[in-house]
Structure 1
Amino acid sequence: MSDIEYEAKALGIDPVDIARRIVAAGGVEAAPARVMRRYVYDTVPPVPGRWVRLRDMGSVVTLCVKEISTDAVDGTRETEVTVDDFAGTAELLRLAGLTPRGYQENRRTSYTLGPVRLEIDEWPRIPPYLEIEADDEAQVWEAAAALGLDRDGLTSVNTTKIYRLYGIDLEVITDLRFE
């Protein structure tokens, strides 16, 4: 199933402060901090702004194709399925001729605020950020306002572009882990 992602990010956050704001606004923790791991693959043929991601979120493993058409709040499309084995799916993709261009880890704490999904993401080498994801654009902006975040201070760029903001080319890093 292919869905538009409606999301915005607040960069350079203090995770403790944001968690406090979420709870104060009526949000609840949906999943505690956990390390997520992923393999990232180019599509065949490679298409700019499109890639395959195999991700282990701790409780569920997903395989998806992400397509970014713009950096707008609704500029990403994700076609995703659940799979039941991270290593087995990676091996299946290898046998099908796909070689990962990178392995990546991040730490994520998940919250909900009504229908909105809030993710505090911590990645190696860059400051933490908050991802606000909802079913439509209005919900994204309402959640941001409830957290006291200025809409003009938010971005919808992807993680690769966030790394670029800090002078790091994520696409050439083949192994990104916490030390």
Structure 2
Amino acid sequence: MKTEYEVRKLDVSFEKIIQKLNRVGAKKVGVYHQKRYVYDFIPAQKGRWIRLRSNGKVSTLTIKEVKSLHVDGTKELEIMVSDFEDTNEILAKLGYIPRTFQENFRIEYTLDGVNFDLDKWPMIPPHLEIEAKSEEDVLKAITLLGWSVDDVTTQDIDAVYSKIYGIDLDSIKMLKFNESENKFINNYESI
């Protein structure tokens, strides 16, 4: 499994982060409305799950495993799939029923091999995910944006929801944007 080196800067302003990213020379990759199904292993295993995700252009099937809440604590094995709904149907035939459906909005930037994903998820403030090929590259990116390691978290999105915002994602079958969140997103779709 591949190691993910990533951190999150929570509760950010889209506008301010976009200005920072433009100032340091990051290039915008795309704007995405992502949707995903999350499945438990059979039997369920704490810290491991299956994710089927589409950004509207590419769909992937991924095994995720959180080994620790450190910058290198998440492992993943991912493949591209040709069709989001057909893959969900195949998984259902194999006995995998989605635990939840989730959506989020993402504006993706890149600079020197580092991905900067400005994310808006339902019910919580926006955050910036910084992902790179090494811990050193993540730390450089944090510094480049004017922050220290104390300004970011290594918690995955489930932990952010539960530990930071007190929301149990396992109890939400359909995590979708409300009307006010959709208005916020509409402001950034054509940036």
In structure 2, distance between residues paired with 1:57 and 1:76: 21
1:118 aligned to 2:132? Answer: no
In structure 1, distance between residues paired with 2:12 and 2:102: 21
2:52 matched to which residue of 1?
A: 54
Secondary structure of 1:43 counterpart: strand
1:72 matched to which residue of 2?
A: 70
Show structure 2 runs of 5+ residues with no match.
Answer: 179-191
Matched ranges for 1:121-132 at <5 A: 121-132=119-130
In structure 2, distance between residues paired with 1:72 and 1:159: 13
Show structure 1 runs of 5+ residues with no match.
Answer: none
Matched ranges for 1:74-113 at <5 A: 74-113=72-111
Count of residues in Structure 1 that have an aligned counterpart in Structure 2 = 177
In structure 1, distance between residues paired with 2:78 and 2:89: 18
In structure 2, distance between residues paired with 1:24 and 1:151: 21
2:153 matched to which residue of 1?
A: 155
Could you tell me how far 1:150 is from its partner in structure 2?
Answer: 2.1
In structure 2, distance between residues paired with 1:144 and 1:14: 16
Q: TM-score, normalised by structure 1?
A: 0.97
Deviation track 1:92-146 (CA, whole Å, cap 9, x = no partner) reads 0000000000000000000001110010010010000000000000000101111
Partner amino acid, structure 1, of 2:157: T
In structure 1, distance between residues paired with 2:171 and 2:16: 33
Deviation track 1:9-66 (CA, whole Å, cap 9, x = no partner) reads 000001110111011011110112x210000000112110000000011210000000
In structure 1, distance between residues paired with 2:143 and 2:136: 11
In structure 1, distance between residues paired with 2:13 and 2:44: 36
- 4+ residue runs over 2 A deviation: none
In structure 2, distance between residues paired with 1:75 and 1:167: 22
Matched ranges for 1:165-176 at <5 A: 165-176=164-175
1:6 matched to which residue of 2?
A: 5
Q: TM-score, normalised by structure 2?
A: 0.91
Partner amino acid, structure 2, of 1:141: L
